[in-house]
Amino acid sequence: MKRRLAIAITTATALVILDLITKRQASISFVGAETTVIPGVLSFTFIENAGSAFSLFRSGGAFFAIAAVLATVAVLVTLRNPHTDLETIAFGLIMGGAIGNFVDRVARGTGLLDGTVIDWIRFPNFPVFNLADSGLTVGVALLFVAMWRQRGETA
pTM: 0.89
User: At a CB cut-off of 8 Å and minimum separation 6, what does 65 contact?
Assistant: 102, 105, 106, 113
Active site residue 104: no
pLDDT in the model for residue 53: 59
Active site residue 85: no
Active-site hit among 19, 104, 119, 133: 133
pLDDT in the model for residue 50: 81
**Residues in the chain where the model's pLDDT stays below 70:** 52-60, 155
pLDDT in the model for residue 121: 97
Question: Which residues make beta-bridge pairs with 35?
Answer: 44
pLDDT in the model for residue 109: 79
Structure-derived torsion over alpha carbons of residues 39, 43, 47, 51, reported in degrees to the nearest 10:
90
Active-site hit among 19, 104, 114, 119: 114
